[in-house]
């Protein structure tokens, strides 16, 4: 398992947090997702044999947010 922290630009409310939690959690191989509106970040634990940080970032960006 791999854990990564991704900074997300554009989150401004609890609905953003909920939406992205759902989007990230649906990715095959993701086992844990914790978003922080306060820190504008997501901490994600995933199986690197099933997905990648790049795929997770792409899913976030497909919803109109920016990652750093």
Residue ranges of domains in the chain: 2-67
Q: Which of 65, 53, 63 is nearest to 5 (CA)?
A: 53
Number of helices (H), then strands (E), belonging to the chain: the values are 2, 4
User: What does pTM read for this prediction?
Assistant: 0.89
Please state, for a pLDDT cut of 90, what percent of the chain lies above it.
97
Architecture of domain 2-67: 2-Layer Sandwich (3.30)
pLDDT tens digits, one per residue of 21-50: 999 999 999 999 999 999 999 999 999 999
């Amino acid at each position: 398992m791999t854990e990564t922290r991704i900074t997300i630009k554009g989150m401004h409310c609890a609905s953003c947090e909920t939406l992205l939690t759902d989007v990230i959690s649906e990715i095959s191989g993701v086992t844990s997702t914790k978003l922080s509106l306060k820190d504008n970040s997501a901490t994600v634990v995933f199986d690197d044999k099933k997905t990648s940080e790049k795929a997770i970032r792409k899913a976030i960006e497909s919803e109109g947010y920016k990652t750093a």
